Amino acid sequence: MTRPLARLDPARSPALAGTAIDRARPLQFRLDGRIITGFAGDTVLSAILAAGIDTVGPRNDGPLALSARFAPAIVPASRGRGAQRPLSMARTPATDGADYATIGVHDSRLRSGRLARLLRPARSLGLSLEAPEGLPVPWRTMPGANGPSADLIVVGGGVAGMAASLAAAKAGLSVILVEASPFLGGHSRLFGTLDGEETPDAAIARMTTAISGSDAITVLHNAEVFAARAGVVRAHVTTLDDGVATASVVDLTAKAIVLACGTVERLPVFAGNRLPGTVGTLEAFALAYHYGVWPGQSAVFATASSAAYRLAMLANDAGIATRRIIDSRPRPQSRFIEFSRAYGITQTTGSIIAAAEPSRSGAGLDIVPQLASGGALPDSTLSADRLVLCGGWQPDLTLWHMAGGASHWAADSARLEPQGEMAGLALAGSAAGWLSRQACVSSGADAVAQLFGHRRVAVTERLLDPIYETPDAPAAIADASSGSAPAFLDAGQRQSRRMRVDQRSWLASLLFRTKPLLATAPEPLAVADVAASVQLGLVPAVSAGIVARERVAMVSLGGDESPLVADEPVAPLVPEFLAGRFGAHPTLWSIASGDGRLFEIGALIQPDADQRDPFAAVGVVVRADRDGAVALVAASHGEAGRQLALIENGRSTPISLVSALEGA
């Protein structure tokens, strides 16, 4: 069955036409044996999503949506099934004729075989997601090759990272700017413009041109930094080599590092929040803006932030039936909200999603809202092809925590915010907690000034008065009893989910008072997992920063060269732990048995064969090899020829003290 292509009509939606793709240059490639069509400029992921595949695979409690944050790694099929050169779907340019296989927990041949292809649902990649450790991220365990060095590494090519790079170049520093996507600019386009400000497009174009024209700045696109400490970052870098995508893991070194990693979009916590058909606002915008991808014909928006209204209007312009915007804030005010009302988009305030489940009609989702304060909204079930979710923005502190940086829970904004400074490493932009574009830009330049001891740059947050622009609300948390699908804490690679009280049998409750612990959850916790855990009361707010740092998915970058084992070839004859065991002045004796047997170190020596009380022992074997045995013996029993009993494995063996060791 061929699914309809999920591309917007460029004639109808110029704002979401797909700036990166060339519709005049179609291409096709294979994934697990399935032919995927796309356009030049697509990534593997955007082409797959455009082809109508929106599911990674099944869990026992339901399928999970395919997204930029939750997609399996792939490997060129021609190189076998190993993970030697794994690629990221989201960071691999689609190329004509390529042939890829997905990397799941289990061997992907099961997914590319003829029978599997016949049985595989059209919307699904067919990966099993039952394993508790989630999808493998193979490059995380690969060693890093030596990569280039510079004065400054900037992680993240949003407006803050671009500003940091330009400020550093202007100061005469060499810069490596590492950006995970194929583009610079980040997400600021979604957030619009304040009066008197340069538009995001103009600002991004200006800075992109300046960076392109700078000899001091090297830009690595499609490169994800997944580990950092002062002086070094490790990145998985995808490049096109003669039209063939390839990837490597490299360690980049620099005197200083700016982390401008942006934010993670929080996932509202409700049953079914990662079902196929759900998507985050940032990702929905990026897919539509860059690739013209928008699966389905109708959408419901659930948000705690005004940014979602802007996307709803753009989608509406593109012909997507915007069924409703559900806003958790009781009386939100925003210019975007005023505009969306003018569009005739229905808005329900003070409400959140209680649960979503696959539509009984066969396509899309059935969505049940509830009051944000708790309680049902009568007769309010909605159906839509797509549910666009926005739970607000959490600064992405992953690399900051990995490098040893601290953070704390800010109760007023319900998010983890960075705390303190680190030598050789600074945060910038929304990763540092800034909200407005101007503040993000200034903070990029200021981060460079901080790191290199230059004159600091003033950073001023420019926000509209809350009367006119209601601040974001905390990510919505639905009633735990709603819905049957799992409720996840975050939409990322990990699969931490809300534990429900009713998920244990009465028998288990009767036999065990123990409960599963977040502390030993088998996966690292993403920063948004921790934020959700605070909101759910699983982690006290005061401990949130510590937990976030403890549970970050650490990748060691060396720097610790302490010896693994004290490797002394010869052990001391009398270890320190025997001090005082056999009186004040024990002596060392060579010992022998009548049958010439070998003894074992540690065997106790008793005064006679009947004695078994270890407190009564008068000595112990301290050396035993082919050259003979030596025992430490209490002074009271140390005389040549003395007959004693050695206890091994419960048996007594007569021994005699042969001679005292000289100097002992």
- Give the integer Cα–Cα distance in Å for 5 and 516: 43
Kindly give, in sequence order, each residue whose CB lies less than 8 Å from that of residue 179, ignoring residues fewer than 6 positions away: 156, 157, 161, 219, 220, 221, 222, 223
* Nearest-5° Cα angle at 565, 561 to 569: 125
* Nearest-5° Cα angle at 274, 271 to 278: 110
Among 4, 602, 643, 654, binds other proteins (CB under 8 A): 602
Q: Does 506 bind other proteins (CB under 8 A)?
A: no
Q: Does 533 bind other proteins (CB under 8 A)?
A: yes
Among 567, 595, 610, 662, binds other proteins (CB under 8 A): 567
DSSP 68-125: SSS--EEEEGGG-SS-SS-EEGGGSB--TT-EEEEE-SS-THHHHSHHHHHHS-TTB-
Q: Which two tokens stand for residue 163?
A: 């500003």
Q: Which two tokens stand for residue 623?
A: 């050396």
DSSP 444-455: HHHHHHHHHT-P
Among 5, 202, 423, 571, binds other proteins (CB under 8 A): 571
Amino acid at 295: P
Among 23, 96, 612, 640, binds other proteins (CB under 8 A): 612
DSSP 557-573: -------SS---SS--S
- Give the integer Cα–Cα distance in Å for 477 and 354: 8
Among 40, 410, 553, 592, binds other proteins (CB under 8 A): 553
Q: Does 578 bind other proteins (CB under 8 A)?
A: yes
Nearer to other proteins, 40 or 578 (CB): 578
Helix axes 200-212, 437-452, angle to 10 degrees: 30
Q: Does 141 bind other proteins (CB under 8 A)?
A: yes
Q: Does 379 bind other proteins (CB under 8 A)?
A: no
Nearer to other proteins, 375 or 614 (CB): 614
Our CA dihedral for 406, 411, 416, 419, rounded to 10 degrees, sits at: -30
Within 79-138, the residues that bind other proteins by CB under 8 A are 131-133
- Give the integer Cα–Cα distance in Å for 335 and 227: 39
Nearer to other proteins, 58 or 524 (CB): 524
Q: Does 26 bind other proteins (CB under 8 A)?
A: no
CB distance 158 to 186 below 8 Å: yes
- Give the integer Cα–Cα distance in Å for 418 and 548: 11
Q: CB of residue 531 vs other proteins: minimum separation in angstroms?
A: 13
Nearer to other proteins, 29 or 582 (CB): 582
Q: CB of residue 136 vs other proteins: minimum separation in angstroms?
A: 9
Among 11, 115, 507, 566, binds other proteins (CB under 8 A): 566
Among 331, 360, 455, 513, binds other proteins (CB under 8 A): 513
Q: Does 473 bind other proteins (CB under 8 A)?
A: no
Q: CB of residue 498 vs other proteins: minimum separation in angstroms?
A: 14
Check residue 408 and report its DSSP letter. Answer: E
Q: Which two tokens stand for residue 305?
A: 């932030």
Among 617, 618, 630, 645, binds other proteins (CB under 8 A): 617
Within 644-663, the residues that bind other proteins by CB under 8 A are 647-650
Nearer to other proteins, 11 or 511 (CB): 511
Q: Does 562 bind other proteins (CB under 8 A)?
A: yes
Q: Does 543 bind other proteins (CB under 8 A)?
A: yes
Check residue 354 and report its DSSP letter. Answer: E
Q: CB of residue 275 vs other proteins: minimum separation in angstroms?
A: 25
- Give the integer Cα–Cα distance in Å for 425 and 385: 44
* Nearest-5° Cα angle at 112, 111 to 118: 80
Q: CB of residue 368 vs other proteins: minimum separation in angstroms?
A: 30
Q: CB of residue 168 vs other proteins: minimum separation in angstroms?
A: 29
What is the widest separation between alpha-carbon atoms in the chain? 108
Q: Does 146 bind other proteins (CB under 8 A)?
A: no
Among 212, 373, 503, 556, binds other proteins (CB under 8 A): 556
Q: Does 515 bind other proteins (CB under 8 A)?
A: yes
- Number of chain residues interacting with other proteins (CB under 8 A): 70
Q: Does 570 bind other proteins (CB under 8 A)?
A: yes
Q: Does 517 bind other proteins (CB under 8 A)?
A: yes
Within 314-373, the residues that bind other proteins by CB under 8 A are none
- Give the integer Cα–Cα distance in Å for 441 and 204: 11
Residues that bind other proteins (CB under 8 A): 131-133, 140-141, 511-525, 533, 538-540, 543, 546-547, 550-556, 558-560, 562, 564-572, 575-581, 600-604, 612, 614-615, 617, 620-622, 647-650
